[in-house]
Structure 1
Amino acid sequence: MAEKKEYRIKVQGQLISVTEEVYFTYYRMKRRELHLEEKDTAHGVFYYSALDTEETNGEDAIPDLTSPRVEDMVMDKLVAEKLHQCLSQLAKEEQELIFTLFFQNKSEHQLAAETGIPRMTIHDRKVKILRTLKKLMEK
């Protein structure tokens, strides 16, 4: 009587007995993986995992383009501080106008309706204040 063939695969360095179906599926998958790796090599595909060392992960070398850069965050903070300093140099009425238009997001039309001041007067004041702020920011 013919002996039944025993199928084994290596898992974490140990041979494990498996069914014939599992054995052939496993090695078919391994052959496919090897084929794809050879194809990638032939086409010059580079994997960041090739940069892995004991201390670092190769994927850490990939720049994160979705997060803001530290330099940009620092510059934004410095500009915001400068803007607040310049705003504090404006007259109280000018500060209130800028605060209402830019920080409360009210339109010139809304502000004109609330205060009774013509919209064009509000617009002209806003433009004059923004020019003043620009000059102060450039100092």
Structure 2
Amino acid sequence: MADKEKYYIAIEGQLLEVNKEIYEVYYKGKRKEQYFEQDLKIEHTKINKETGERIVVPSREDSFERLLEAEKQFAEDGNSVEDEVIHTIMVEKLQQTLKMLSEEENTIIQALFYEDLSETELAKRLGIARTTLQSRKYKILEKLKKYFHY
């Protein structure tokens, strides 16, 4: 009887002896994995048989650094850092300015702008005419403008 061939696969740096069937399945899977990696990561070209035109098939996976080197543009997906900083400063300044209002003025601003109550609803709640409330609102907003600019 002839000596049996021995088959080994390397797993985590160790050689394991396996039968021929396991060896073939393992290395077939490894080759397939390498093929897919190359297909995903490497840009390649194809030639259109009818027109002879060269078609570039980009890689499906790319690094940010390579895209920058290729001078690819990226769409901005939101506000810039500067815009976010300015927004934060403005919100803080508004909060400080709101603290300078009287309790009644603060109640009106909170209800109209933070609770989204209509002028009619708030006027009913406060027991005053809507036109009176509207007049007070404009005075408060003018006051806020003055505080806000200085």
Partner deviation per Cα, 1:8-57 (whole Å, 9 max, x = no partner):
11112211123433322221221122212322213354346x9xxxxxxx
Instruction: Tell me which of 104, 110, 122 is aligned to 1:111.
Output: 122
TM-score normalized by the length of structure 2? 0.59
- State how many pairs are aligned: 123
The whole-number CA distance in structure 1 between the counterparts of 2:32 and 2:95 is: 62
Q: Report the equivalent of 1:20.
A: 20
- Structure 1 residues 24 and 110, CA, compared in 2 at 3 Å: closer, same or farther? farther
TM-score normalized with structure 1 length: 0.63
Percent sequence identity is 39
Unaligned runs of 5+ in 2: 44-57, 67-76
Query: How far apart, in 1, do the equivalents of 2:63 and 2:18 lie?
Result: 32
Instruction: Show the counterpart of 1:46.
Output: 62
- Report the CA distance shift for 1:9/1:106 in structure 2 as closer, same or farther (over 3 A): same
Q: Which residue of 2 aligns with 1:11?
A: 11
Match of 1:33 in 2: 33
The one-letter amino acid paired with 2:15 is: L
Higher strand share: 2
- Once residues 90 and 104 of structure 2 are traced to their aligned partners in structure 1, the CA distance between those partners, rounded to angstroms, is 23
| Structure 1 gap segments, 5+ residues each | 51-64
> Match of 2:90?
79
| Aligned equivalents of 1:131, 1:21: Cα separation in 2 | 85
| Residues 32, 116 of structure 1: alpha-carbon distance in 2 compared, 3 angstrom cutoff | same
RMSD: 3.3
Where is the helix percentage greater, Structure 1 or Structure 2?
1
Q: Secondary structure at 1:117's aligned position in 2? A: coil
Find the counterpart in structure 1 of residue 132 from structure 2. 121
How has the CA–CA distance of structure 1 residues 12 and 121 changed in structure 2, closer, same or farther, with 3 Å as cutoff?
Answer: same
